Amino acid sequence: MSIEIHDKSIASLVQSAWEIRKNNFPDTIEFDVPDKTRTVSVTGNECILNCAHCGGHYLKNMTPISAISSLSDYSSLLISGGCDEMGKVDIASHKALIDELKEKSIKINAHVGLISEAQIQQVASFADCVSFDFLTDKETIQQVYGLGLKPEDYITTYLNLKKHVRVVPHICIGLYGGKIQGEIDAIKKLKELGADSLVFIVFIPTPGTRYANKPAPSPEDVAKVLATARIEFPDIPIHLGCMRPKGRIRAQIDQLAVLCGVNKLVNPTKPAVEEARECGLEIKYGRECCVL
């Protein structure tokens, strides 16, 4: 281990997670550079919720679905967008256009938010996978998203999705202004409900948002959550997605993620690559969104 973990309890968790990974998976890790997945928004730059951590910022880098022309350079789409006042991303209303795209052998990862079962059935007709932000902390739901909803609303949507389509739950570490609040509970609830794979992302303090001046979670806090997930889910793929802070903290998070036993890491830093090699892992590379 080339990175020191100061908290002994977290160091012990990471060691346990690594042993579990070694016992349940081949000595390989996948690093994804998803240049074959185009990110698409069904709402352009608009989002009614204006969430504390995002404020619509990340929609600006996505292509409006109405502006899609050539897809010759891509093999898949991540289709997302802004939410309405109830936390729904209205992808289903674009079914006709998406069906046309699907006919071009394009794989679809849909980020849908809190949609009804009827809408889930529509999305399931074209989605290869649904990415679903999974929360079980009421205060986070209210303070970050501004939604007057309960954890049960997320649980119900997740279970409905599982009935109709492959769904990959996403947990944002430090979503509550950089604090660890509810992530461990979410992991334990998912263990109860069942999950075939799991994606983590990490809160980024983003200029222009209400959480712009909040700290990112510490690398050790991230490691605590990732290691717990590996221990609770010893034999399913666990990925660290593209959304995480930049700079030195990103490198430290990436190194620790390797040691926590993740199976896939998106846009890895050089220290993560070096850590994987030191751990004796064979590196494989992918070029699509990590859930595809």
pLDDT in tens, 241-267: 999 999 999 999 999 999 999 999 999
For residue 181, the domain's CATH number is: 3.20.20.70
**Could you report the per-residue pLDDT of 149-195, keeping only the tens digit for each?**
999 999 999 999 999 999 999 999 999 999 999 999 999 999 999 99
The reply to whether 85 falls in a domain is yes
CA distance 236 to 28: 14
The reply to whether 292 falls in a domain is no
CA distance 115 to 111: 10
Distance of CA 256 to the CA centre of its chain: 17
**Could you report the per-residue pLDDT of 126-137, keeping only the tens digit for each?**
999 999 999 999
Number of domains composing the chain:
1
The reply to whether 2 falls in a domain is no
Query: Can you give the residue range of the structural domain that contains 170?
Result: 8-286
Taking all residues of the chain, what is their mean pLDDT, rounded to a whole number?
A: 97
Beta strands per DSSP E along the chain: 28-32, 37-41, 63-64, 76-80, 107-111, 129-133, 167-173, 198-202, 238-240, 264-266, 282-286
The reply to whether 291 falls in a domain is no
The reply to whether 54 falls in a domain is yes
Give the Å distances, CA to CA, from 281 to 64, 259, 264, 273: 39, 11, 12, 10
**Could you report the per-residue pLDDT of 206-217, keeping only the tens digit for each?**
999 999 999 999
pLDDT at 1: 60
Rounded mean pLDDT, 61-66: 94
- Cβ atoms of 158 and 170 within 8 Å: the answer is no
